[in-house]
């Protein structure tokens, strides 16, 4: 609830407008999600689209390293995985929902 209130306070300071068109079904689904999150449709849409946009941008980001660090990074990627006994036991034990307990 506090998060929703903080978002509402910030929304009064926005300078530009962004509008979209949606089918009645799409709008109902979005409105229900906003209701569950206890926020307005506008704030819900802004928060969700901003998060999605940040993910898209992050996926396109490039980074560079000095030659020595690049070699270390490359070698780490190519290295054989470490054997961790506890992890191996976890991965080969039946899971709770496997029905084999």
Closest of 30, 40, 33 to residue 3, by C-alpha: 40
The mean pLDDT value for 77-94 works out to 93
3-58 tens-digit pLDDT: 555 555 555 577 898 899 999 999 999 999 999 999 999 999 999 999 999 999 99
Residue 28, Cα to own-chain centre: how many angstroms? 23
Q: Is residue 101 part of a domain?
A: no
Burial of 44 (0-12, 13-18, 19+ CB in 10 A): buried
Q: Is residue 9 part of a domain?
A: yes
- 2-11 vs 41-60: helix axis angle to the nearest 10? 90
- Could you tell me the pLDDT band of residue 87, with boundaries at 50, 70 and 90? very high
Which pair of structure tokens corresponds to residue 69? 């660090």
Which pair of structure tokens corresponds to residue 26? 């799409």
The mean pLDDT value for 49-76 works out to 92
Q: Is residue 97 part of a domain?
A: no
Domain that holds residue 11: 2-92
- Check residue 6 and give its pLDDT: 57
pTM, whole model, 2 decimals? 0.52
Q: How far apart are CA 80 and CA 82, in angstroms?
A: 6
Tally of domains within the chain: 1
Q: Is residue 16 part of a domain?
A: yes
Closest of 49, 31, 39, 50 to residue 1, by C-alpha: 39
Q: Is residue 79 part of a domain?
A: yes
């Amino acid at each position: 609830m506090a998060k929703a209130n903080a978002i509402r306070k910030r929304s009064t300071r926005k300078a530009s407008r962004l509008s979209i068109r949606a089918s009645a079904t799409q709008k109902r689904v979005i409105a229900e999600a906003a209701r569950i999150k206890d926020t307005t449709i506008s704030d819900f849409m802004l928060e969700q689209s901003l998060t999605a946009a940040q993910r898209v941008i992050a996926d396109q980001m490039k980074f560079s390293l000095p030659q020595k660090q690049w070699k270390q990074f490359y070698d780490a990627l190519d290295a054989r995985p470490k054997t961790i006994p506890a992890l191996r036991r976890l991965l080969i034990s039946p899971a709770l929902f496997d029905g084999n307990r």
